[in-house]
Amino acid sequence: MAARAHSPTPRPDPAGAVAEDLALYRRKFQQRLPASLDELQGPARGVVDLPLHVAWSGMTSYDLDNPRRRMGLYRTVLHEGLREDLTSLLNQDVLLELWPTLRRLVGRTVRTVWEDAFPQLAARGRAAA
């Protein structure tokens, strides 16, 4: 009887799995981006009530006239919002104003995706550094 060649069980490649997960995570945010910052036509003042799919945990109502609440809304919408949420809840001028600080409060993937897509955000981030 001939001995069968035994091939070792392939070991999982954690680095490859992590890279694949990061690529999927990045793609999730890229697919949600508006084509242009001009599409961000949300309110600049007043109270905004977020839909449940965006504010699934925690606050749902934000007063944009309160700087901390405004920053919290933008952080939440950037992370959880769909394209329609981004365009209807975020305002281009407010995002540009907040970006130098906001970019440090959002995750690295969100920051990178937005700055790669919109050079004006990257420029504001570099100017603030």
pLDDT digits (tens, 9 = 90+) for 10-53: 555 555 666 666 788 889 999 999 999 999 999 999 999 999 99
Confidence of residue 5 (pLDDT cuts 50, 70, 90): low
CB atoms within 10 A of CB 128: 11
Q: Among the listed ranges 4-8, 19-23, 53-57, 95-99, which one has the minimum average pLDDT value?
A: 4-8
Residue 46 one-letter amino acid = G
Q: How far, in Å, CA of 22 to CA of 114, rounded?
A: 15
pLDDT over 70, % of the chain: 83
pLDDT confidence of residue 4: 53
